[in-house]
Every structure is written in C-alpha cells, then in structure tokens.
Chain A
Amino acid sequence: MAAVQDGQLNLEVEKDIKTEITNDGSGNINANSSSPGSTSSGGKSKSPAGSGEDQQTLLAVLQFLKRNKLTESVDILRREAGLSADADDSPVSESAGAGSGGVPSVGADGGDANSLLSRVSIATPVAPPATAPPKVVAASGGEDQPDVNVVLSAYSQQGDPVLYPLYYNGLKKFIESVLDCHRAELSQVFYPLFVHMYLELVYNNHENEAKQFFEKFSGDQECYYEEDLRILSSMSKKEHMKGNETMLDFRTSKFVLRISRDSYQLLKRHLQERQNNQIWNIIQEHLYIDIFDGMPRSKSQIDAMSGSLAGEGKRDANKAKVFYGLLKEPEIEVPLDDEDEEAENEEGKPKKKKPKKDSMGSKSKKQDPNAPQQTRIPLPELKDSDKLDKIMNMKEATKKIRLGPDNLPSICFYSFLNAYQGLTAVDFTDDSSLIAGGFADSTVRVWSVTPKKLRRVKSAADLSNIDKESDDVLERIMDEKTASESKILYGHSGPVYGISFSPDRNYLLSSSEDGTVRLWSLQTFTCLVGYKGHNYPVWDTQFSPYGYYFISGGHDRVARLWATDHYQPLRMFAGHLADITCTLFHPNSNYVATGSADRTIRLWDVLTGNCVRILTGHKGPIHSLAFSPNGKFMASGATDGRVLLWDVGHGLMVGELKGHTDTIYALKFSRDGEILASGSMDNTVKLWDTLKAFDDVELDDFTAATGHIHLPENSQELLLGTYMTKSTPVIHLHFTRRNLLLAAGAYNP
C-alpha cells in the first residue's frame, strides 16, 4: 500500500524506466540486508528518482549499508554510482549506462545479487510453512541463488527487440502446454507481460518492433482489457509516454496476480530452464505475484476477479477489520406509539406492528459486535428538527411495505423534459420531498415534488420585523412571494456532475467540472461555500448519512473528506490509479467507498485515512455504488453493464448480476435490503433479489481466507423484473421510506 501511494504521489518525478531500475536495485539491497518489513523502505527509496536527488539518496543508502557492515555492497554501489555519475549527465543516458554498467558489478558478487531478487522473494513464501498466508518477508535467498545469472543477462539482452516476440511466444507455448488446471492461472501473466514488453520496446525507441509486437499479440489479450490496449496502441513513441496517465499507472504500480504455489513453481521452473531472462526480469520488476497455497483457481474464478488496471487487489489489502455494523440510533422518546397505533389501525393491519416494534427495539438496545464505537468519529449532535425528522421517518417506516420476490415495489419515474441532453446528476432527499438536478449548463435546479412550495427566507431587514416569540415564527420567516415549485442555483462554471442533499434537507452539495464543490443553502437558495481543492473536474460528491461530513472525488484521483465548516479537507484518500468516478459513505459514516476508472473499488477508513479494502472484478469504470441498509454488503455497477455484490466484512465478491447492456448509473437497495434496483443507460430499471443472492453464498473459512469465491451462475434467477422506459436513461434511483421506488432521468427524444 505504502509503495503504491508513494508511487502515486511522485508520478511526476518518475519518468524513467532505467533510473528506476537502478534505484530499485539499490533499494532492494538496502531492504534485503536490513530487516523484514522492507517493502516500504524499498518503495520509499525508489521515489526520489530524479537525477538531482540521486546523489543524496545514494549517500544515504551507503551510510545505511556501512552501519550494517555490508562492505561489499558498499563497494559495489560506490563503483556503480560513480561510474554512472561520471559517464553521463542526462538522466536518460545515465540510466542506460547504469543498466549496462551494473551488469559486471552486481555479477561480481553473488550474495548481493540476491538482493535483486528480493522483489520476487517478497512474493515467494519462503517463510516457515506454518504461516500459510505469505506475509511479506525478505527472502532468505538460498534457493534463489542460481537466478543471479538470469537476472544479469536480462540487462544485456534488453537491447535486442527482435527477440521479444520470440520470448513471448515461447511463454505462450509453454502455458498452452501445461496442465489445464494451471493454464488459467498462468494465463494471467500474459497481459501484464505484454504491456510491459510493449512499453519497453516503445521506450527503447524500437518503434516498428513495438508495432509489430502489438499487432501480433494484442488479439490474445482478454477482451476486458480492450480499453487499455486502445490507449496503449496510440502510444507509439517515447515522447508519448511523458505525461500519459495510463503509462504512468503501469510504471508506478505493480500488477498484482494471484497464483497458486504449484502454478508459480511451474512457471518459475520453466523460465529458469529456458533461461528466459527477459520475461523473468519483467515479472520481478513489474509484477506482484501473490502466492497462495491450495488448489489453483479456475478460469471463471480468475475472470471474476481480474480486470482492473493494476490486477487484483492484494489479499493483505483486504485483511483489515472493517466495522460494518450500524451505529446505535439515539433513543428518542416520542408519543409515537399512540399515533402509530391509530395509523396502523386505520390501515387495518395492526398485527404487523408488534413484531416490528420489538425487533426495532431490541436492535437499538443491543450493540452490534461489528459496529464501530459510537464515538469512533465525532458526529454532529442531533438537533430538534433532526429528531422530528427521525420520528417522521419511524412513522413512515411502520407503513413501509415489505418487499420480496412476490411483492415488488411500484416504480414512479420522474422524467426531466426539455433537458437537451444536459442532465448530469440527480438526487432525492431521504423523505422524497425534494429532487435536485445538476445540469451541463452549470445550473443546479431544485424541485419540490410535494404540494409544498419552495420558499426563501426573508431578507435580513424583513426578518428583524418579525415577532420572534410567536409560535409560527418558522412560518413567518419564509417569504411567501418567493414560493415556487422549483428554484435554480447559479454559481458553477462547468457541468455539475455530482449532487447530494444533506440528510436534514437544509443543504445541497454540488460538484462540478470547474473543480469546486459548492454547498448551497435550501433556506436562502444561495451558495454558502465553495470548497476548492480539486483542481480538476470533481465527478462526485456525497453527504455523510449523519450530515456534516462529505466526500468528493474526481479526475485528480484523490478522494477528499470535508466537513462543511472547514474550507480545507480533513482527509485525502490517495491510491486510485485513475479518476474517482463515484463516492459513497457507509451507512455508519465511518467508511467511505470510492469507485474509480481504474476498475477498482476502495473502501477507506475515515478515522485513519487508510485504504481497508480493494475490490476488483469490474471490467470497466465504476459509476455507481450502493451499500445495503445493514452496512454489510455493497453493490457496484460499471460501464460493463454488470452489477457486482460485495461482502464488506470479508472483502469478497459474493455475486454478479448480469443483464444490463450499458453503463449502470444508479443502484439502490430497498429500505429493508431485500431488493436491489439498478438503473442503466440502456433505459431500463431492473430489480434483483438480493436476499437470495446473499443467502446463496456459503462462506466457509477457506473461501473467507483465500477469497476464492465460486460465484453462483444464477443471476437470471435473481432478476425479478425489467422495466423499460421509452427513451429515458435511468440515472438515479431512490426508495422512499415506504419502499416505493422513484427513478429519474432525462427524456431523450
């Protein structure tokens, strides 16, 4: 994690393959010789890769080595550094020189050359077999001894681009010839290898060879990498690599593969036998092979999890404990019961009330063991109006209909007419009384969908004339003249991509292409704050379910956590390799989920700022997220038209819902979590039986530990309904408190 983050933050610095290689070498020397837990230091020493900082880094490393009495290493490093420094000035040529210069020096000493393999050995579980999950530890090196020559020759061979296709072909032949059970796993190697070989060719100015290579093998790659391949294909010159984000992603992050031990050994043996150093080298340099014990995974299992920009998430990344339980609701004493009874009796089904009451009561009393501490993050105190709203909520909840496969919700569609393709975001308030739309013309519009009109608070001068003691003072402060069904909020200077109501309906957040997030008051219908921090388009913003906090994420790949009364972010969540396309708070407000164009979902801890989950499996940018009301599950939808279901606690994929044919822009669980509604660009709303989906998943200890889930192939059975619009993409969904489903979209004539 740390390595990835560092890499991310130093994007601009790292431009050179070569410099990095040398640095990696030195860093690994450092790491290997020092102690376990060296990955982070290795990553760190890697970061200051610029030519100016080279000297300093080297000095520091030398000092460190000396202190650890590793004189030989010191000598080598000295020689190497001195040589490269003298030979060239420019970093590029320097690196080339370093590469060739490094060969004899490292080769001279077997013991140290070991260190170059530390990358591999990190992944290799050489640690005591008792601890089955391979914790990242330094290699003891014994069995890696013969690899030294391989590594060295890799450098020398680098200049021969003609051999690349041969290498690749050789590996391909090998993998095709291995046993079926290993083939699927080993095939994972193809894509990262292909990308890195291509990039190396391009980098070394072997333009034509690169093109040929690409044409020859790009067809072999999995179809879900098509997007990336397209970007790669356009990159045919070294100059193009400068500033290309995708390229940087590949360079700065290691592609993570999960391979069973058997398969890995097979691959390793093959490569060593064939002396296929080029490939071996790339595997060491750019791949993170996460080895597990046990049965190799099947093709479908692999396909389910792969697809993200940087391979699968490391298993370690998902080990942290996530408190996915809900916070205890504050006890509110209200004369609720009487009124409720009346309401219930009116409806003529009083029998339903009793068990529900009890369950609600017991839930609030018992602390959920999976819930975070109530005060884990400070939450705003409840105001009287919030309490009133809670009471309303509970009253409504008693009238809620229970949904299920036999009891589907009614759907009410709000169509935006005359939007001229300009509707970019929609949100409903929790009580479904207001609807807000963000538009490409920079406006934000708020509608009241109840007969209650939107009114502005009177001006200050008028307010001073009001009798503050009167009972209806809240009524009196509103300016009746301004009553209207909708209000327009002007302030942004670019399309509004994200919009979110505060839970108390007093505020509205909007995020825009202009890089700002704005907070609007729904009392005065004016802008209160413009939060500046993202310098690039902000794709999404979301209020915490408890208000006060909100999250925003955008093109700059950093998600920021804000509090409404701070003009600077409280947390910055960095780690995604591409734009953050959607953001969502966990129902307990302690976690934040972000979906990204790098095809991963990350879950961040609001308290510590750490990334606690990396969920891979989508094959396209993720555009919608939804947490189940109990906080235990999450659903995500992407441009690939699939909805994936996740178990947040275990960090596992637990379901895949296929059916949509276009980007899924809206996901929502029903109020009780039995039904998941998904809305898509393909003009449909689909309903899914999530209760069944979650029930079908059997989580034994093994699957929980390894994360190899057998996805039930039953997404068609889970589909409860498909509802088409005429020509209206569905871009938002919302369940009212009574479980009526509201959908919204702009009519597209």
Chain B
Amino acid sequence: MAEERRPKQCTVVLPTESMKAMAESIGVGQLQEESCAALSEEVSYRIKEIAQDALKFMHHGKRRKLTTSDIDHALKLKNVEPLYGFQSQEFIPFRFASGGGRELHFYEEKEVDLSDIINTPLPRVPLDVSLKAPKEQQKAESTEPLKVVKPGQEEEGSIQKGQGAISAEAKGKKEGLMRMKPRSTHELSVEQQLYYKEITEACVGSCEAKRAEALQSIATDPGLYQMLPRFSTFISEGVRVNVVQNNLALLIYLMRMVKALMDNPTLYLEKYLHELIPAVVTCIVSKQLCLRPDVDNHWALRDFAARLMAQSCKTFSTTTNNIQSRITKTFTKSWLDEKTQWTTRYGCIAGLSELGPDVIKTLILPRLTVEGARIKAVSEGPVVSNIDKIGADHVQSLLLKHCASVIAKTRPLPDNMEQYRADYGYLGPTLCSHVVKARAQAALQAQQVNRTTLTITQPRPTLTVSQSGIGGSGGSRSPSIIKVPSSLTLMSTRPGTPTQPSPPATKYIVMATSAGASSTQQVITLSSSSGSSVTSTVASATSTLQPLVKLESRGAGGLGGSRPLQKYIVVSLPTSASSSLESKSGMLPPSSSSTSPISLEAGMKMDRSDSPGASTQSPH
C-alpha cells in the first residue's frame, strides 16, 4: 500500500481525481476541489494507518506477505467493519466510457451462466496440515542422544531435505551427507504393501497354487523394483532363521523366490547380491538343512541352489566384484578341508560343477582320485554312520553325473575300464560306464539344444529324473529345474476333481501315497518360460499302495478334462524303482507316451513312510 521505502513521502496522497471518481461511483456528482483535496489527504492518512496496523498482524502471523485478512483485522482493530470480499483480479474495478458529451464510470460485470458454475467439478479439497520430522532423528532421539559432530564448515553444512525439513544432524558436511543419504526411505504405497504381503505369504504359505501364482508374478511383474529391497531382506532373513530351525520346506520356497526374482527381466539384482548370495550359498553348503538328514531330500535343495548360484555368477560376475572367482574359492576351500562333512562336501561339489565344464575339468577331475578314496573308505570300510554313508553315496553319484559328461567330451576314446581306474581311482570303473552311457546319449540327442533336467534324488537308491524338454510341449525351453524333496507341500484333494486353476507354469506333481489311509500329493511348479501351462489336479488313487507314475499330455481326457494343458503326474510308491516304472507304463495314457518329455533314467522311489512330509509340514 502506501508503505514505501523512505519516509519522504509525507506528501504522497491519492490524487484528487480518484476522489472524484469514487464519489461518482457512489452517486455523488459535483464534488468541490477543496473537498476532494481534504478527502484525499484524509483517506491517504487512514489508509497508511491501516496498512501499518495490518503489518503488525503480518509480523505476528509470521509471514512475509501481507494478506487481505491482515487488513480486515486492522480494520477490526479500529472498530471499522471489515471488508467483505476483496476483488483482486483487476487493478481498477470500474471502467470508463465517454460518449455524447457524457463521461461514465461503470463496473464491468460479466454475465455468468449459473449452470456453468453448478456443473464445474468441485475443486480438490486442500490437503490438511501435517507434521513432518525426519524419521531417523525421531528414532535417535528416543534411544540415545545423537552423536554430535564437529563444527567446521558449518555455513555450508546445512542440508536440505525434501519437503523443506532441515536435517540438522549434519554439522560437518562429510559426516552429515554420508549419514543422510542411505537413510532416505522409499515408502510403499498401500497397494504395494498389500501386494508385498500377499506375495510373501503366498510364497511361504501352504497353498501350492497360490505359490505358483506368486512366483509367476515375481518373475514377470515389471513394477517390483521398489519392493526389491524388501524381498531381498525377506529372503535373507528367512534363510537365516530357517537354516537354524532346519526348516527345509521354507528354504526351498525361499530359493524359489530367488529364482523368480532372477527370472524377472525388469529387476536388476546386483545391488542386493550382498543379501542374496549368502542366503543361496547357505542353502548349498550348510551342514544341515533339515531335521532328518538321513531321510529328507535336502540334496535337491543343494542342487537347486547351486544352479541359482551358477546363474547369478553368470549374470552378475564382473571384473570388479569377481563373484565367480570368490565363490569358486569359497567352495574349493571347504571342499579341500579334510573335516568337511559329506553334506557340505556335496554342496561344494554341486556348486562347483554347476559353474561349468571348465571348472569341473580344472578343479574336480584332478581330485577325483582323492575323493574316490574317501568314498571308498566310507562305503567299504567299517560301518560308521548311516548319514555318512548316504552322504558318500550322494557325492559319488554327483561326481559321476557331472564328471561323466565332461569326460565324455574331453577324453578320447576308447573307454577302458582299467585305464579309468588308473586315472580316477576307486570311481574309475563306474565312471567309465557312465561315460559310455553319456557318449551314447550325446550321440542320440545331439540335435537337442536345450535341456531341462529334473533331478530327484532320494536317500537310498539313486533317483534321478532327468527330463529333456523337447518340442512336444513347444519350442525352446529354457532349462528349468525342479527339486523334489519328498516333503514339499502336501495337499489332499478330493479324488477325481480337477480343481486348480491354471497358472501359466508347468507343474509337476509328484504324488506320494503313504502307507496309511490319507493320500498326499506333492506339487512342484516348474517355472519355465515355455508357453505351455499345466494344471495339476491330481486325484490320487487314495490309499492304494499302487505305485503310480502318470504322465498326461495335453488334451488328455483323463483327469484334467479337456483342457489344452499338459500334465505330468508322478506318483511314487514305496516300492522299488522298477515297480514304479512298471506302473508308469501301465497308467500312462497311450497318447501321452509318445510325447512324454520325461525320460526316467533311474528308478523312482519314495519312502514308504511319508513321514518327512508330515514333519516338514508342521511349520505351515
């Protein structure tokens, strides 16, 4: 208003013309010059006075801008009725027009269509006042007085946070900035929180179908990067807890989450490897992963995790982080250790061999002799403990499996049993036969590009179901792995009812019927990139003791109805491998046999007592 810089303008008054104009606007026609002068002086003074009072209100309102309400309050102070409404759009409210010898001042009031006003949507309600404080400091306050930082460049030391909160913790630039940055929190929206809750619950929950969906979602959803830190923490914490509790089932679920995260092309896990790799490695080499190491199939978990490890090495290893070499070193070191237990030994070998033929060639083959001697000591020596024996068995088969293929490629023919024994010691003869077999197979399947392996290892006999994905289910199939510990989710479904929806993932259902009346069923989802989806609705033949291995191809009218789906149902029985194979051929619908993608290399056998399933089911 009339508040200008220097007090020079005791002379500044409103021009008399304004007085005249205002007088006319309220209908007073002829105002004399002296009256105008007197009026303008008076009005100017009063305006200045009010402006000064209004300033007072501005100061107390802790503002820098004078508002209309300040003027209202100043008027109130003087016992003057406040103004009702301020027109601010235009500088001078009235317009001037002349014509016909007359001069006119008038308000320019536009016509407004009432319906326009009514129909315009209401403006958004302004946000309510809220209080914000830096979170970490609140926390710090409640716990302990903050560490105080050195003064020194304080002038620049101020830090500006979003929303204008100063962080004052930052005294010195260095410490302040470094403390602030990693602490920025990314809040999840409510929807994201719900999603996160659903996903994590489903992943470790008891419903296999839900889990399949959840994993599918993790593997494909493009918008998960915000939740990635939480998922990674979830996994690493989960592994930490469940390793201690020997909760094999949950460890498997968590590894499958890792797998799903890795499969998601929109996620870049590198920033979270520090959490994920320890978790995965734990699942590979841990001494004990389940409550009953002699019975439970923790080997499958080790294999699976080893494959994950290999995959992440392939994807993320760079010259700077050296993941692969560090991991290799870790495995080798514990493998070479004499005191290492069979379980860990198995994990190390599995981890190494998954890293590729080169690694096998340079690191494993030279040690075959030593390892063979060790295995021999266990299997042929005095009976030590069952667990050791099982471990040695597994190590042996693992070595045979991996080394055979490598040797088959590298070693020139002929495969001489004696020569092998000389080269590889105790394992030589067995290896030789494996190599022969591998060579034959390689010749057979030379044209196949991709290879899907399903390995199921069971305590006693070797149980390896290696499945070669072929064109039957459609095109190229990326290697997908299942580990089927006998103690996966056990579902009991009513016989003969196809209930489950079809998640877009292949499912392999392994049914284990226990000796008792209750029928149980295991579902393993293979998340494969192939388009073929498979529902797993398995009606077990209830309490039969019949071994069942059923492979059902798409379109089969049997159990899945007429869905265009492909089913592999593996139902095992507690008898010998041969019986299961028999039953397989017996139960197989004719149409599927031709397209069956599964070749059962070894006998398949489940433990008669289904107790592992029962035992691991308890955490759910």
A731 touches B62 (CB 8 A): yes
CA distance A728 to B133 in the complex (A): 13
Residue A299 lies at the interface, judged by CB distance under 8 Å to chain B: no
Chain B residues whose C-beta falls within 8 Å of the C-beta of A410 in the assembled complex: 137, 140, 145-148, 168-169, 171
Residue B151 lies at the interface, judged by CB distance under 8 Å to chain A: yes
Which residue of chain B is the closest to A448 with respect to CB atoms? B131
Which residue of chain B is the closest to A405 with respect to CB atoms? B151
CB contacts under 8 Å to B, within A729-745, are 729, 731, 736, 738-741, 743
Say whether, besides A450-B142, A681-B62, A720-B151, A231 and B10 are in contact (CB < 8 Å): no
Q: A410-B168, A747-B163 known; 12 other A-B pairs, CB under 8 Å?
A: A211-B11, A214-B10, A235-B45, A409-B148, A410-B146, A413-B134, A414-B133, A537-B73, A621-B59, A723-B166, A728-B165, A740-B141
A722 touches B154 (CB 8 A): yes
B8 touches A728 (CB 8 A): no
A233 nearest CB across to chain B (Å): 4
B126 nearest CB across to chain A (Å): 7
Type the 1/0 row for A214-254, where 1 means its CB is closer than 8 Å to any CB of B. Answer: 11001000000010011111111101100010000000000
B11 touches A449 (CB 8 A): no
A421 touches B126 (CB 8 A): no
Which residue of chain A is the closest to B168 with respect to CB atoms? A411
Residue A590 lies at the interface, judged by CB distance under 8 Å to chain B: no
Say whether, besides A399-B145, A743-B166, A724 and B129 are in contact (CB < 8 Å): no
Q: Which of A356-364, A435-443, A542-550 contacts B (4 or more CB under 8 A)?
A: A435-443
CA distance A748 to B165 in the complex (A): 11
B166 touches A720 (CB 8 A): no
Say whether, besides A539-B60, A722-B155, A233 and B9 are in contact (CB < 8 Å): yes
B58 nearest CB across to chain A (Å): 10
Say whether, besides A409-B148, A418-B128, A723 and B158 are in contact (CB < 8 Å): yes
B293 nearest CB across to chain A (Å): 42
A724 touches B62 (CB 8 A): no
A502 nearest CB across to chain B (Å): 21
Chain A residues whose C-beta falls within 8 Å of the C-beta of B67 in the assembled complex: 421
B62 touches A418 (CB 8 A): no
Residue A494 lies at the interface, judged by CB distance under 8 Å to chain B: yes
Chain A residues whose C-beta falls within 8 Å of the C-beta of B168 in the assembled complex: 410-413, 685, 723, 741, 743
Chain B residues whose C-beta falls within 8 Å of the C-beta of A727 in the assembled complex: 164
Chain A residues whose C-beta falls within 8 Å of the C-beta of B460 in the assembled complex: none
B65 touches A416 (CB 8 A): no
Residue A34 lies at the interface, judged by CB distance under 8 Å to chain B: no
Residue A726 lies at the interface, judged by CB distance under 8 Å to chain B: yes
CA distance A440 to B67 in the complex (A): 11
B157 touches A233 (CB 8 A): no
Chain A residues whose C-beta falls within 8 Å of the C-beta of B3 in the assembled complex: 230
> Which B residues are within 8 Å of any A CB, using their own CB?
2-3, 6-11, 41-42, 44-45, 48-49, 52, 56-57, 59-65, 67, 69, 73, 77, 126-134, 137-138, 140-142, 144-151, 154-155, 157-158, 160-161, 163-169, 171
CA distance A27 to B64 in the complex (A): 48
Chain A residues whose C-beta falls within 8 Å of the C-beta of B2 in the assembled complex: 234
CB contacts under 8 Å to B, within A53-70, are none
Which of B60, B138, B157 is the most central at the interface, judged by chain A CB atoms within 10 Å of its CB? B60
Residue A471 lies at the interface, judged by CB distance under 8 Å to chain B: no
Partner of B10, one of A236, A555, A597: A236
Chain B residues whose C-beta falls within 8 Å of the C-beta of A739 in the assembled complex: 145
A416 touches B8 (CB 8 A): no
Partner of A412, one of B7, B59, B137, B155: B137
Which residue of chain B is the closest to A666 with respect to CB atoms? B62
Chain B residues whose C-beta falls within 8 Å of the C-beta of A417 in the assembled complex: 127, 129-132, 163
Partner of B166, one of A416, A421, A725, A738: A725
A236 touches B41 (CB 8 A): yes
Size of A's binding interface in residues, CB under 8 A:
92
A740 touches B151 (CB 8 A): no
B131 touches A447 (CB 8 A): yes
Interchain residue pairs A-B with the least CB separation, the first 9:
A411-B168, A233-B10, A410-B146, A724-B158, A721-B154, A747-B164, A726-B164, A234-B48, A233-B7
A352 nearest CB across to chain B (Å): 12
Residue A205 lies at the interface, judged by CB distance under 8 Å to chain B: no
B142 touches A244 (CB 8 A): no
Type the 1/0 row for A399-412, where 1 means its CB is closer than 8 Å to any CB of B. Answer: 11101011111111
B148 touches A408 (CB 8 A): yes
Which residue of chain B is the closest to A447 with respect to CB atoms? B131
Which residue of chain B is the closest to A450 with respect to CB atoms? B142
Chain A residues whose C-beta falls within 8 Å of the C-beta of B149 in the assembled complex: 408
CB contacts under 8 Å to B, within A407-437, are 407-424, 432, 435, 437
Chain B residues whose C-beta falls within 8 Å of the C-beta of A495 in the assembled complex: 57, 60-61, 69, 73
B19 nearest CB across to chain A (Å): 16
B59 touches A449 (CB 8 A): no
A440 touches B69 (CB 8 A): yes
Which residue of chain A is the closest to B61 with respect to CB atoms? A424
Say whether, besides A724-B160, A726-B160, A234 and B61 are in contact (CB < 8 Å): no
B553 nearest CB across to chain A (Å): 59
Chain B residues whose C-beta falls within 8 Å of the C-beta of A38 in the assembled complex: none
Chain A residues whose C-beta falls within 8 Å of the C-beta of B9 in the assembled complex: 233
> Which A residues are within 8 Å of any B CB, using their own CB?
211, 214-215, 218, 226, 229-237, 239-240, 244, 347, 399-401, 403, 405-424, 432, 435, 437, 439-440, 445, 447, 449-450, 486, 494-495, 497, 513, 536-537, 539, 555, 579, 581, 597, 621, 623, 639, 663, 665, 681, 684-685, 720-729, 731, 736, 738-741, 743, 746-749
Chain B residues whose C-beta falls within 8 Å of the C-beta of A497 in the assembled complex: 60-61
CA distance A684 to B160 in the complex (A): 12
Which residue of chain B is the closest to A497 with respect to CB atoms? B60
Chain B residues whose C-beta falls within 8 Å of the C-beta of A555 in the assembled complex: 56, 77
Sample of 27 A–B contacts (CB below 8 Å):
A233-B8, A234-B52, A236-B10, A408-B148, A410-B146, A410-B171, A413-B133, A415-B132, A415-B133, A415-B165, A418-B127, A421-B63, A424-B61, A424-B62, A432-B141, A437-B129, A450-B142, A537-B60, A539-B60, A684-B158, A685-B166, A685-B168, A721-B154, A725-B158, A726-B160, A728-B165, A749-B164
CA distance A581 to B56 in the complex (A): 10
CA distance A502 to B127 in the complex (A): 30
Chain A residues whose C-beta falls within 8 Å of the C-beta of B126 in the assembled complex: 418, 420
CA distance A405 to B41 in the complex (A): 57
CA distance A79 to B144 in the complex (A): 83
B141 nearest CB across to chain A (Å): 5
B137 touches A236 (CB 8 A): no
Say whether, besides A232-B7, A347-B144, A418-B128, A729 and B133 are in contact (CB < 8 Å): no
Which of A233, A555, A639, A665 is the most central at the interface, judged by chain B CB atoms within 10 Å of its CB? A233
B62 touches A665 (CB 8 A): yes
B45 touches A230 (CB 8 A): no
CA distance A655 to B173 in the complex (A): 30
Say whether, besides A347-B144, A411-B169, A731-B62, A237 and B41 are in contact (CB < 8 Å): yes
Which residue of chain B is the closest to A198 with respect to CB atoms? B10
B316 nearest CB across to chain A (Å): 38
CA distance A76 to B49 in the complex (A): 43
B281 nearest CB across to chain A (Å): 36
CA distance A621 to B165 in the complex (A): 28
CA distance A244 to B134 in the complex (A): 48
B483 nearest CB across to chain A (Å): 44
B164 touches A494 (CB 8 A): no
Chain A residues whose C-beta falls within 8 Å of the C-beta of B132 in the assembled complex: 414-417
Partner of A537, one of B7, B77, B142: B77
Chain A residues whose C-beta falls within 8 Å of the C-beta of B59 in the assembled complex: 621, 623, 639, 663
B65 touches A421 (CB 8 A): yes
Chain B residues whose C-beta falls within 8 Å of the C-beta of A235 in the assembled complex: 45
A285 nearest CB across to chain B (Å): 24
Which residue of chain A is the closest to B69 with respect to CB atoms? A440
Which of A215, A579, A740 is the most central at the interface, judged by chain B CB atoms within 10 Å of its CB? A740
Chain B residues whose C-beta falls within 8 Å of the C-beta of A233 in the assembled complex: 7-10
CA distance A721 to B173 in the complex (A): 12
B77 touches A536 (CB 8 A): yes
